[in-house]
Amino acid sequence: MMKTPARVIALLIAWVFVLGSTFSAMSQTPTADQDPYLWLEDVQGERALAWVRQRNAESEGALQARPGFAALRTRLREVLDSKEQIPYVSRRGDALYNFWRDAANPRGLWRRTTLAEFRKPQPAWEVVIDLDALGKAEGENWVWASATCLGPEYRRCMVALSRGGADATVVREFDTVAMRFVDGGFKLPEAKTQLSWKDADTLYVGTDFGPGTLTDSGYARVIKAWKRGTPLAAATTVFEARKQDVAAYVEVDRTPGFERTLFGRAIDFYNTTSELLQGASLRPIDKPADAKLDFWREHVLIELRSDWTLAGTTWPRGSLLVGDAAAFLKGERRFTALFTPTATRSLASYGATRSRLLLDVLDNVASRIEEWMPAADGKAAWTRREMQAPYPGSLAITPLHDPLLKEDALAEAYLLNVANFLQPDTLQLGQAGSAAADARREVLKSRPSFFDATGMRSEQRFARSKDGTRVPYFVIWPKGAKADGSNPTLLYGYGGFEQSYTPWYSGAIGRAWTGQGGVYVLANIRGGGEFGPAWHQAAVKANKQKSYDDFAAVAEDLIKAGITSAHHLGIQGGSNGGLLVGAVMLQRPELFNAVVCQVPLLDMKRYHKLLAGASWMAEYGDPDQAEDWAAISRYSPYQNVRKGQTYPKVLFTTSTRDDRVHPGHARKMAARMLEQGHPLLYWENIEGGHGGAADNGQRAQMMALEYTFLWQQLGGR
């Protein structure tokens, strides 16, 4: 179960230095008007695209000529296109839906099957939408985004498709029985749209309705009710957020007997308001602004980001509280804590079967699953059981219960995905209830081994950051590697937006890196969510530098332990992680010999003026405010790169169609570094969105360029 405001914010996000100078970074920073590379922010401008094509040709010429490039790209494409990958599913009524790409279907198939078929080694799938055929017929480069379907029949779905992988989508009503788009049905033009079904003939829609209807972040500010058969212009406004908010949101719970509609404002990335629709009126819900609120049948759930004191009891941030929903709405504040954090344990997520809550708890960055059941008499007592599941590793649990169905054979069922760095994922079907039920979990699908892990091993280690904080990181050792300082090593990090990175199995990393003798390292630095809200909040705004200190500390620890040396150490990160590696590259250049900087933020003076950038000010601060800029200016890469300094060689990758993080960040940084004489490579995919690639062919090309660059810099190949 995704918490209501969290779901909205996840859609907006979701899969983003002190140098040794004695001069003030602020005094050396050109204003926007003085920036000689502002023209590179013109995404589709002729001059800018000519610059991009020249850089792409240079980078491809340098890397594609390397021995083994074509073979590597083929091996990576085999992983991405493998028909043996697990087809992950979501339930809609009696059907299990999946979106699938392979060599024959590069843009993908939206398809469905039954649980009985899904159990088979080779299920029979019914294709609902063939994106390759649709794109060809309509002359569009469609990329799948989402489908919002009306239960319990799930016949009518609002299907969102993007051009080239952008966040902005075109949304059309689709009939999953007739297998076609509905003639005269609901249709929304390209925009960053969100919507919910009110009923079969009414949508709640947040989109670009014209001037004044978007927030400064470019998301919907206005929610309207749109009746079937009427023009969008006739839709009635039901809720408005403020222009400076991130977005307005709406969430409709149609569970029989517990129907609720919530409207609210995402004030920033972490603070929301919520209002409950009662008749024709909206009733504000009293909750801490930064708490995540959810309703589950007769219960209210509140996940805290800050300490909350009630009647002399202080619930610590990171806690999950449950109470009676009706009493809560009447003003009662009586809760039971289902989870309270410790120094090493945090709540990653939770979901609900018909009668139980399933909690995914991180314990030193490894998953455990807890099952909680309310007392049968509806009183305050809850019972807890730790479910039997592999440890350590990563567990992802997806309840299959459909609350809209009167009779549901899968009411207590769930899917459990199990993975770690060296063992391929398995997807299991389980039933909540008992240890005996845990033992009977059925393995539905297993991912194949894409590389030989014989002799490889993984371990968790800890580094000491500049302020003494213990920072965990994982090391994946290739077969035969020794701590002699000679191992080509790739260090990956993110450290932002309370996002946690746990062990995962990657056939691509295995084939391109660890299986070829490289060491892979995942750093769980502050700014992430691995140890709950406190771990995140320790490295935001004025304290963002702590993320970079943590990352540098892991690099130092790798070198000190003899796992690698600076000559053989490279770093990689995307989005907020692109900012991370960009900043650390400039602050500690002596530690690294290669940087892969993907879809990055880099010009932190202007990030809030570019695309969705304004939505991230709760993470970084407002550069137009002198106090915030005083901190940001010390690490913003675009303002801190210097002529005459020696930096590790960097490969920038981005996408023209990224309408979340503006490609101007990478373009301008590369242009400035080239002007200053720094060696670098730059590659921009003309499609791809924030993920950098629109299909498996593009993704294989991008990854082959990145790993070829890394081997060239770190392994002498």
pLDDT score of 691: 60
The question of whether 690 is a catalytic residue gets the answer: yes
The question of whether 575 is a catalytic residue gets the answer: yes
**For residue 100, which amino acid is it?**
W
Q: Who contacts 445 (Cβ-Cβ below 8 Å, separation ≥6)?
A: 86, 87, 426, 427
Q: Give residue 71's pLDDT band: very low, low, confident or very high (50, 70, 90).
A: very high
Residue 688 near residue 701 (C-beta atoms within 8 A): no
Q: Who contacts 17 (Cβ-Cβ below 8 Å, separation ≥6)?
A: 545, 548, 583, 584, 586, 587, 634, 635, 640
pLDDT of 28 higher than 80: no
Question: Which residue carries 């309509």 as its tokens?
Answer: 138
Hey, what domains does the chain have and what are their CATH numbers? Answer: 33-77+451-714 (3.40.50.1820), 86-285 (2.130.10.120)
pLDDT of 567 higher than 60: yes
| Cα 163 from chain centre | 20
Q: Give residue 688's pLDDT band: very low, low, confident or very high (50, 70, 90).
A: low
The model's pTM: 0.92
Mean pLDDT of 434-453: 96
- Spell out a b/e string for 674-684, using b for 16 or more CB atoms within 10 Å of the CB, else e: eeeebebbbbb
Supply φ then ψ for residue 427, to 5 degrees. Answer: -110, 120
Q: Which one is predicted more confidently, 656 or 716?
A: 656
pLDDT score of 4: 40
pLDDT score of 261: 98
Distance CA 390, CA 488 (A): 31
Structure tokens belonging to residue 377: 């008499």
**For residue 374, which amino acid is it?**
P
Structure tokens belonging to residue 671: 């242009």
Angle between the 696-714 and 46-64 helix axes, to the nearest 10 degrees?
60
Q: Give residue 658's pLDDT band: very low, low, confident or very high (50, 70, 90).
A: confident
Find the range with the poorest average confidence among 169-178, 402-411, 443-452, 692-701: 692-701
Percent of the chain with pLDDT over 70: 93
Question: Which residue carries 């320790």 as its tokens?
Answer: 538
Q: Give residue 687's pLDDT band: very low, low, confident or very high (50, 70, 90).
A: low
Q: Give residue 33's pLDDT band: very low, low, confident or very high (50, 70, 90).
A: low
Distance CA 693, CA 700 (A): 9
Q: Who contacts 565 (Cβ-Cβ below 8 Å, separation ≥6)?
A: 485, 486, 559
pLDDT score of 8: 43
Q: Give residue 375's pLDDT band: very low, low, confident or very high (50, 70, 90).
A: confident
Structure tokens belonging to residue 555: 């690099």
Please, what is the average pLDDT of the chain?
93
pLDDT score of 696: 86
Strand partners for 398: 415
State the catalytic residue, choosing from 575, 633, 636, 655.
575
pLDDT of 552 higher than 70: yes
What are the tens digits of pLDDT across the range 247-264? 999 999 999 999 999 999
pLDDT of 675 higher than 80: yes
Residues of the chain by 3-state class (helix, strand, coil), percent to 5: 25, 30, 40
Structure tokens belonging to residue 563: 């796992």
Distance CA 55, CA 59 (A): 6
Q: Residue 392, preceding bond cis, omega within 30 degrees?
A: yes
pLDDT score of 21: 28
pLDDT score of 9: 43
pLDDT of 426 higher than 80: yes
Q: Give residue 672's pLDDT band: very low, low, confident or very high (50, 70, 90).
A: very high
Residue 282 near residue 239 (C-beta atoms within 8 A): yes
Question: How many other CB atoms sit within 10 Å of the CB of residue 200?
Answer: 10
What is each CA distance from 398 to 282, 302, 417, in whole angstroms?
Answer: 32, 20, 8
Percent of the chain with pLDDT over 90: 90
Helix, strand, or coil (residue 323): strand
> How many separate helices (H) and strands (E) can be counted in the chain?
17, 39
Helix, strand, or coil (residue 338): strand
Q: Give residue 659's pLDDT band: very low, low, confident or very high (50, 70, 90).
A: confident
Distance CA 432, CA 428 (A): 13
Residue 89 near residue 98 (C-beta atoms within 8 A): yes
pLDDT score of 380: 64
Find the range with the poorest average confidence among 20-24, 173-177, 265-269, 318-322: 20-24
pLDDT score of 10: 42
Distance CA 523, CA 502 (A): 10
pLDDT score of 717: 46
Structure tokens belonging to residue 273: 């308001």
State the catalytic residue, choosing from 299, 665, 678, 690.
690
pLDDT score of 34: 83
DSSP states along 395-444: EEEEE---TT-SS-TTTTEEEEEEE-SSS--EEEEEESS-HHHHHT-EEE
pLDDT of 690 higher than 60: no
Structure tokens belonging to residue 373: 């059941």
pLDDT score of 114: 98
The DSSP letter of residue 289 is T
pLDDT score of 2: 35
Supply φ then ψ for residue 479, to 5 degrees. Answer: -60, 130
